[in-house]
Amino acid sequence: MKEFADLSVRKQYTLCEKSDKAKLKVVRAIFPVSAVPKGITISLSCRMELFLMPLDWSPLVDFLRRSERPLLMTHIRPDADGLGSQLALHDALTALGKKPRVAIASKLLPRYEFLDPKRTFIEDFRPSAFTDRDSVLILDTGTWNQLGDFGDWLKKSSLPRAVVDHHRTQDDIGGLQLVDTSAESTGRLAHEIIRALGVPLTERMAHHLFMAVATDTGWFRHPNATHATFDLCGELVEAGANPTVLYEQLYESATLPRLKLTAIALQRLELRAGGKVAYTEIALSDYSATGSVPGDTEDLINFPRAVEGVEIALVFIEQPDGGTKVSFRSRSADVSKLAEQFGGGGHKLASGARIQGKLADVREKVLAASAVLLGS
């Protein structure tokens, strides 16, 4: 065993001496070629634990340095990972003298209003309001169906664009596409970009990046949280991130209507496939009955997932256009493949889809496909 210190990441990692050429290729995909010591390779078992910057950020750095007025976007129904990445990169690009703008293509969920109470930075996307932009950077998604009306605008636009994401499911958006499915969050990738740009990490950047990483790991409960996750978050706390404040704002500030909607979801919990599949559902009428809003459904998937013995958890949400939004979670089964059957996608253990059809019809189709996936 040898110790290899890479000053660019300011950490020391244990590497294994092996001569297998196939494994050496893996190393060169992780480190810059010039940084791989001769005769040194990293064990494949360490690959998913270390997250040692598998992406070459130089094309994106060049892209961003050429851009003076970039538009930073994320998926519809933006979550803490997408928003945190947008806000941190906004500050980094501003520090470089750029004039970035952050926009979202759907309503900002009430639970995230604390990020920008006066809406100084987070703007609602309207094509006529962004004609001054000279590039687009899309964060935390690489699929057209997650871009909403912004996607329709982008298809007609000639603006250069880049995608930075950690989800397996991807479309050809055009331009640069930098995807690292081993990263636990897009927040980690945003941190790497900021470092590659040579911008010092500020307290506000660190706060937003901590939020991104922590939420996409279920506040460090999910299998994608590794020792590298804690290393990164330790660095972010040292730079000024405040986990206590973030947790209180995100998880201990629920409105009464949100709690009433949660009660309805709990009442409707059902099991299928011999107790291996749990699901619940929300109808449009539930919002007016409780005074809640669609954004209040965001964490409902955690309840069917918490049922003992459940392998696949599902939440079905009726949509105004007549379709049905489905959230998929799993403990081991690859639900991204299940979501892809219905035009969606995501991670192995966490995915989503938006399916045309009445809720009852969609529910039965998805439940049947879930049973097949589990072999039930």
Q: What is the pLDDT of residues 98-134, one digit of tens each?
A: 999 999 999 998 899 999 999 999 999 999 999 999 9
Q: What are phi and psi of 324, to 5 degrees?
A: -140, 130
Assign 53 a pLDDT band (cuts: 50, 70, 90).
low
Question: Domains in the chain and their CATH numbers?
Answer: 2-50 (no CATH), 58-250 (3.90.1640.10), 256-374 (3.10.310.30)
Arithmetic mean of pLDDT, 140-146:
94
What backbone phi and psi angles, to 5 degrees, belong to 371?
-65, -40
The pair phi, psi for residue 125, each rounded to 5°, is -75, 125
For residue 266, name the pLDDT band (cuts at 50, 70, 90): very high
Predicted local distance difference test score (pLDDT) of residue 347: 86
Q: Hey, is 229 helix, strand or coil?
A: helix
In the predicted model, what is the mean pLDDT of residues 33-45?
Answer: 35
The predicted pLDDT at position 1 comes to: 29
The model's pLDDT over 157-169, given as tens digits with 9 standing for 90+, comes to 999 999 999 998 8
Distance in angstroms (rounded) separating the CA atoms of residues 212 and 326: 22
Tell me the pLDDT tens digit for each residue of 224-247: 999 999 999 999 999 999 999 999
Q: What is the pLDDT of residue 346?
A: 86
Residues of the chain above pLDDT 90, percent: 80
Residue 292 is predicted with a pLDDT of 95
User: Which letter does DSSP use for residue 307 in this model?
Assistant: S
Sequence-ordered list of residues with C-beta below 8 angstroms from that of 116, at least 6 positions apart, any chain: 87, 108, 122
Stretch 216-220: mean pLDDT:
95
pLDDT band at 276 (very low <50, low <70, confident <90, very high): very high
Q: Which residues pair with 278 in a beta bridge?
A: 271, 313
pLDDT at residue 13 tops 80:
no
313 band by pLDDT with thresholds 50, 70 and 90: very high
**Residue-level pLDDT at 28:** 28
Residues 6 or more apart in contact with residue 233 via CB below 8 angstroms: 210, 213, 214, 220, 241, 243
How much is the pLDDT for 50? Answer: 37
The mean pLDDT value for 308-319 works out to 97
pLDDT of residue 273: 96
Hey, which bits of the chain come out as E strands? 2-6, 11-17, 40-41, 70-74, 101-104, 122-124, 135-139, 161-165, 176-179, 270-272, 277-282, 312-318, 324-330, 345-346, 350-355
Lowest mean pLDDT segment, chosen from 48-57, 127-136, 356-365: 48-57
- Alpha-carbon torsion, ordered 356, 360, 362, 366, to 10 deg: 170
pLDDT of 169: 87
pLDDT of residue 10: 27
Tens digits of residue pLDDT in 68-107: 999 999 999 999 999 999 999 999 999 999 999 999 999 9
Nearest to 101 by CA among 150, 59, 58, 158: 150
- Determine the average pLDDT of the residues in 257-280: 97
Res 155 pLDDT > 70: yes
pLDDT tens per residue, range 169-204: 899 999 999 999 999 999 999 999 999 999 999 999
Token pair in block for residue 109: 């969920």
pLDDT at 37: 40
Instruction: Give me the chain's average pLDDT, please.
Output: 87
State the average pLDDT over residues 267-283: 97
Average pLDDT over residues 304-320: 97
